[in-house]
Structure 1
Amino acid sequence: MALPLLDANGWSLDDVPDQSGRTVVVTGANSGLGYHATRAFARKGADVVMACRSLERGERARDDLADAVPADRLAVERLDLADLESVQSFVERFEADHTELHVLCNNAGIMAIPRRETADGFEYQFGVNHLGHFALTGGLLDRLRATEGETRVVTQSSGLHANGEIQFDDLQFEDEYGEWTAYAQSKLANVLFAYELDRRLDAAGSDVASLACHPGYADTNLQRRGPELRGSRLRLWGMQAANALFAQSARRGALPMLYAATSPELTGGEYVGPGGIANLRGAPEVQASSDRSYDEALARRLWPVSEELTGVEYEFGDAVTAE
C-alpha cells in the first residue's frame, strides 16, 4: 500500500484554471504522467494533441478517457522522439491542422536502459529526452509565438538531473556507458534547455515562457522499461515493490507539469516539483534546481551542439546572438 499523502490541502487538479479554447500538445500522452495531464487539460476544456510513439496505444488511451472527457477534445498523432524524421513529420501535420498552440508539454522520456541508439545514431536517452524535444520545440516555436497571449513550453526533467554532467567529449557515451549517468545527463540537458530557451525568448521580447518541472517519485512505466529491456525479472520485481511502497500515483506526479503549464503565478524560467518530503511527493511548488543547471555558459555551449545534431536552428531575431 502506498504511503499516505501528506499535503492533501495543497494545489490539486481542481485548481487547474479553465483551459477552454486552448490547444495543448503532450508528448507521451498514452500513459503515466502524460495520460493524467491530458485528462486534466481536456476536463478543463482544452483541445489536446496526444503525441505518442505508438498510435495503437495512443488510441487505446483516448478510448479509455472517453468516459471522463469529450472525445472531440482529444486527437492522437504519432511522434517518435527517437527519429528526427518523425518529429519533423509531426510538426508538419500539426501546422497543417492547427493555427494556435498554447502549451507544449515535453513530457515523454526513457530512463536507465541498456545502451542503444536512436534512428539518427544518438545515445537513446540523450536522443529522446533532450534532442527529440529540442527539435520538436524548435519546430513548433513559430506556432507558439504566433498564438495570441502568453504561451508556454514545459519540459519534464527529474530530480536526478542534479547528478548530471554534460560530457561534451563523449555525448553519446560511445567510450564508456553508464545507464544512470546517461539518464542524469539527459535530465540536466532538459533543465539547461528550459532555462536557456526562456532567456532567449525573453531577450527577443516574446510572450512564450519556458519552464522546467519534475514529478518527484511517481509510479509510472518509466521505472519498468530498463529491467524489461534487460530481461531482469528480479530488478522488475524490486522496482514494482519500491513503487508500491514509496511512490505517489502518476495522477499526483502530473501535478507539477500541470502547475507549470497553467498557474498564472509563474512567468517563465521556474523549476517546479512536489514540495513534500525530499521533494519526492506532494503538492507542486517552485523549487531550486541544481547549481550546475544555472550555469549559463554551459547552457550556451549546449545550445549550438543541439542545433547541429538535430539540424533544427532556432530563430529569435537580432536581439539574441550566439556566444
Structure 2
Amino acid sequence: MPKWTAADVPNQDGRTAVITGANTGIGFEAAKVLAARGATVVLGVRDTAKGSAAAAQIVAASPGADVRVQRLDLTSLDSIRAAADAIRADFASIDLLINNAGVMYTPKQTTADGFELQFGTNHLGHFALTGLLLDMLLPVPDSRVVTISSVGHRMQAAIHFDDLNWEKSYSRVGAYGQSKLANLMFTYELQRRLSGKGKTIAVAAHPGGSRTDLMRNSPLAFRLAYKVIGRLITQAPSEGALPTLRAATDPNVLGGQYYGPSGLGESRGAPVLVKSSAQSHDVAIQRRLWTASEELTGVKFPV
C-alpha cells in the first residue's frame, strides 16, 4: 500500500478548520496544507503577532488562502471562553477542531486558574474549548475533533486523581505523561458520547519525534541525548504533521482511532493507525477523568 502523504489530503473547499497552537511546529504545517487545499483556517494562538506572521507565510505560499488569527490562551479559561465566543460570532459552523497546542516538560508552574501547567494546557484547556465549540460541529457531515497526544502517554503516565495538579510532588516527565494520557482518554470518551448522536467523530494522533521547539524545557539529559541522536530519531515538522492531517481528512478514518508514524518506536515515518496503551482504554478512568474535567473547567458538553 502506498505511503500516505500530504498529497492525499482531499479538497477542503468550503470547510472551516480551527487549529490551536498553529503559529509554529506541526500545527503550522497542518494549517499550511489545509489552507492550500481550500479550507478556511483559524489559527488559535496566544501571541497574535506571531499568529499574523504565520498567516502571512501561509498566504504567501498559497495566494488567496483564507487564514484568520484568533487570540487563544489555553492557560486561561477566560481567554478560552472569549475565543469560543469570537469564533461563534464569525462562523456558523466548524468542520475541524484540531487540538494541537501543547507544552512539554515544563518546570513546575500553574495556569491562570491554578491548574498544573501541562495538565491545564494540554488537557483541560482543550477539553474546555471543545465543549464550548462542539455544537458547531455536531450538525456538520464528516466533522472531526482531532486531539494530539504523544508516545509520552506511556512514560510514567497515570491519572493522579489524588493530586491532579501535582501539588504534593512534581515530576515534569510524569506530568507531561498524565496530560498526554488524558488527551487519549478524552478522545475515547468523547467518541463514545458522540456515537449515534451526530455527524462528528473524535480522533487522536501523535507526531512521533518532530523537530519542534517543544524540547526546550526538557531535562538536561534529554537535551544532550537529542543533540547526539536527534536527527536519527526525529523528522521535520512537515512530516510530523502528517498523522494530524490524516486523522483530520482521510475519508476512511473512524471515530476513536489513533494515528502516528509507522517507523521504529513510532518516532518517524508515514502516518498509520497505531495503538495506545492498555491503560488509555480503561473506561472507568476515562469517565472519572471526564467528570473531574467538567468540575475543574465548569464546561458541560452537549453530548
TM-score by length of 1: 0.90
Q: How does 1:223-234 map to 2 (within 5 A)?
A: 223-226=215-218
Q: How does 1:121-200 map to 2 (within 5 A)?
A: 121-147=114-140, 149-163=141-155, 164-200=157-193
Partners of 1:23 and 1:53 lie apart in 2 by 20
Q: How does 1:246-265 map to 2 (within 5 A)?
A: 246-265=233-252
Aligned twin of 2:50? 57
Sequence identity, in percent?
46
Amino acid corresponding to residue 160 of structure 1 in structure 2: G
Partners of 1:135 and 1:307 lie apart in 2 by 8
1:236 to partner: Cα distance: 5.0
Partners of 2:7 and 2:240 lie apart in 1 by 15
Amino acid corresponding to residue 300 of structure 1 in structure 2: R
Aligned twin of 1:294? 281
Aligned twin of 1:274? 261
Partners of 2:282 and 2:222 lie apart in 1 by 35
Amino acid corresponding to residue 244 of structure 2 in structure 1: M
Amino acid corresponding to residue 133 of structure 2 in structure 1: L
CA deviation string 1:85-114 (max 9, x = no partner): 000000000000000100000000000010
Contact 1:224 1:239 in 2 (8 A): no
Verify: 1:67 aligned to 2:47, yes or no.
no
1:186 partner SS = helix
Partners of 1:144 and 1:209 lie apart in 2 by 9
Partners of 1:47 and 1:172 lie apart in 2 by 36
Partners of 1:51 and 1:71 lie apart in 2 by 20
Partners of 1:170 and 1:221 lie apart in 2 by 28
Contact 2:15 2:39 in 1 (8 A): yes
From 195, 199, 204, the counterpart of 1:207 = 199
1:76 partner SS = strand
CA deviation string 1:269-301 (max 9, x = no partner): 001001112211111111111000110111011
Which sections of structure 1, spanning at least 5 residues, go unmatched? 1-6, 317-323
Contact 2:139 2:198 in 1 (8 A): no
Contact 1:114 1:226 in 2 (8 A): no
1:150 to partner: Cα distance: 1.8
2:186 partner SS = helix
1:289 partner SS = coil
From 295, 299, 303, the counterpart of 1:308 = 295
Partners of 2:63 and 2:76 lie apart in 1 by 31
Amino acid corresponding to residue 137 of structure 2 in structure 1: L
Structure 1 runs (4+) greater than 4 angstroms displaced: 234-238
Partners of 2:28 and 2:228 lie apart in 1 by 22
Contact 1:218 1:243 in 2 (8 A): no
Contact 2:73 2:79 in 1 (8 A): yes
Deviates more, 1:99-108 or 1:216-225: 216-225
1:170 partner SS = coil
From 101, 106, 115, the counterpart of 1:113 = 106
Equivalent residue pairs, number: 302
Partners of 1:241 and 1:23 lie apart in 2 by 41
Amino acid corresponding to residue 62 of structure 2 in structure 1: V
Verify: 1:220 aligned to 2:207, yes or no.
no
Contact 2:84 2:132 in 1 (8 A): yes
Contact 1:110 1:128 in 2 (8 A): yes
Structure 2 vs 1, CA of residues 290 and 144 (structure 1 numbering), >3 Å: closer, same or farther?
A: same
Partners of 1:241 and 1:220 lie apart in 2 by 16
2:176 partner SS = helix
TM-score by length of 2: 0.96
1:315 to partner: Cα distance: 2.3
